[in-house]
Structure 1
């Protein structure tokens, strides 16, 4: 029986966590990563993933980006676990190494599915939603805050059902996987969750739960999610359940509130740092343009404003330019005008 040849392109905290589960299940996995120290650590000491239930220590096959041109393997499944802004060049990089029926799976935040399909074709592109929490500050060592029994994924696309099943079967070693007919709507719903949590808590330089507990911040996060839900509808998406939620609620405000509650209760711990805060702590740029910036742009094209997401994007731009330091001192600027706008905005 043919063993699918799997590549994980982007082996940071999330990619490495997924990789450890797949390698532990004896799948044929190759890691491709751009952080030299991380590559060397995995080669010399292996990959160590600390989970709530224990520690996984695996010895992955790993290559640096500069070695991709030397590879001769043709991959049946490529899990693309890179930042949304790295989607296009990463897909172009790996496209020549796809097998005849190989697919690229965008396990990412942001609306990256169409960008992947533009490059490899819709019949070889799989969109994915990921909900798991991981941190990585030292090369070769990942702290995964929710193990496979509580991680959640959704996948979908216009690919052959057999290919989609192969993706589902492989990814199921890392968490619960749902197959969705409307993967664009599902990815928009993840953006609804991300809009409220990722960048606002990073601007305040706090763990997600601690930021959400500050006066006014939880409601601000809900307002960001509400605007994202409105943008999704304006973009042709539906408000669909994700994370295993049992029912649909077509009111953007209520939907955003329930979704944020799920993230805080099920997928976060008191010390969970969002991916944006981790990026900034490492001196890297974040995905704020692909998250809050995208929400504001979509609503603007539809003739509407997104004051909450626009403010988040504006403050994030100042942080990344060095004009503003992240920290709790930003709370007044973040929440400026919230009460006036929020009056009558939602039940």
Structure 2
């Protein structure tokens, strides 16, 4: 990798903004690119403010609107993609013309987006990634990151084994923002994160409740675990292996359901504050779509491809789509309807 690579963060919302700011403060050549016009203008005028549990950091940044990508003349060596999973294809196509021929796109996203990226720029230019940080953003130019660097966790892995040696260089950069593990099985690591996401993101959003509060409601923890069990079944059916993520030790249980219980407990303990809203609930409160099909829907479709059912995740998808269609509100009054399938 070049001594001072040109780096772009495409998607500088709650997650991408604070990571890109860490890179900027480390003296790296970083360009912020975002689709929220007011956010770009606020960053240009006032820089980026990052609130963390015990400190607040302000960073002047270089920011572009999406339309200004067409004005970029010098290609980027690294592009960190931090957009919603459902925005992966168009975002990758947008940035492809300004990605260096030997550059990489790193998908810091939920879902199994690494294969979508690779289908556009090639497996030799794709690095899969897992991210575990709790963040929120409601005001342009201001993000609240609920996990400081010592708690934030990432995994990276090349899709092309011939490029795996270069991943460590990218990991060195990403360590400016948190703990980073390099893996030669990013497919499994991505699935393990999806298992957790299937359990937590949409189920807690459906009842319009912070994650920890949702887990304490009668019946909800059991329901969310069952969604995770189905997701683990889908992962194994898709060829993934059980492996520890988010910094957990390698001595974790290899029993699928016990593994789900252990990793979900770690998320609630370490990565979730009392006021942590999942990204899906934040999306709905902002009037945006959530990553329904890329998480719980992925579980349903993967198991269906293996002639297996996923009744819990299918129920979650159906209720979530009703909310997005406007035929159901997201409210704590949904809990009885949500839990009904788990009782049958």
Following superposition, the deviation at residue 339 of structure 1 comes to 3.2
In the other structure, the counterpart of 2:199 is 196
Aligned partners of 2:122, 2:70: CA distance in 1, in Å? 22
In the other structure, the counterpart of 2:46 is 45
Q: Is the 8 A contact 1:103 1:163 kept in 2?
A: no
The partner residue of 1:243 within 243, 246, 252 is 246
In the other structure, the counterpart of 2:145 is 144
The partner residue of 2:326 within 300, 322, 326 is 322
Aligned partners of 1:220, 1:257: CA distance in 2, in Å? 12
Q: Is the 8 A contact 1:17 1:142 kept in 2?
A: yes
Query: For 2:87, what is the secondary structure of its paired residue?
Result: helix
Query: For 2:294, what is the secondary structure of its paired residue?
Result: helix
Q: Is the 8 A contact 1:8 1:79 kept in 2?
A: yes
1:176 equivalent to 2:179? Answer yes
Considering only aligned residues, what root-mean-square deviation do their CA atoms show, in Å?
1.1
1:154-233 correspondence runs (5 A)? 154-157=155-158, 158=160, 160-233=163-236
1:1-347 correspondence runs (5 A)? 2-157=3-158, 158=160, 160-246=163-249, 247-340=251-344
Query: For 1:244, what is the secondary structure of its paired residue?
Result: coil
Superimposed CA distance per residue, residues 227-271 of structure 1 (whole angstroms, 9 cap, x where no aligned partner): 000000011111111012113433221111111101000101000
Query: For 1:160, what is the secondary structure of its paired residue?
Result: helix
TM-score by length of 1: 0.96
Aligned partners of 1:303, 1:251: CA distance in 2, in Å? 22
Query: For 1:181, what is the secondary structure of its paired residue?
Result: coil
Query: For 2:83, what is the secondary structure of its paired residue?
Result: coil
Aligned partners of 2:232, 2:192: CA distance in 1, in Å? 7
TM-score by length of 2: 0.97
Query: For 1:187, what is the secondary structure of its paired residue?
Result: helix
Superimposed CA distance per residue, residues 82-122 of structure 1 (whole angstroms, 9 cap, x where no aligned partner): 01111111111111111231100000000011111111111
In the other structure, the counterpart of 1:344 is none
Aligned partners of 1:116, 1:306: CA distance in 2, in Å? 27
Q: Is the 8 A contact 1:226 1:255 kept in 2?
A: no
Instruction: Name stretches of at least 5 consecutive residues in structure 2 with no aligned partner.
Output: none
Superimposed CA distance per residue, residues 268-315 of structure 1 (whole angstroms, 9 cap, x where no aligned partner): 100001000010001000101100011011111111111110011000
Q: Is the 8 A contact 2:157 2:164 kept in 1?
A: no
Aligned partners of 1:303, 1:255: CA distance in 2, in Å? 24
Superimposed CA distance per residue, residues 22-61 of structure 1 (whole angstroms, 9 cap, x where no aligned partner): 1111111001000001001001111000011211101110
Instruction: Name stretches of at least 5 consecutive residues in structure 1 with no aligned partner.
Output: 341-347
How many residues of Structure 1 are paired with residues of Structure 2 in the alignment? 340
Query: For 2:295, what is the secondary structure of its paired residue?
Result: helix
In the other structure, the counterpart of 1:343 is none
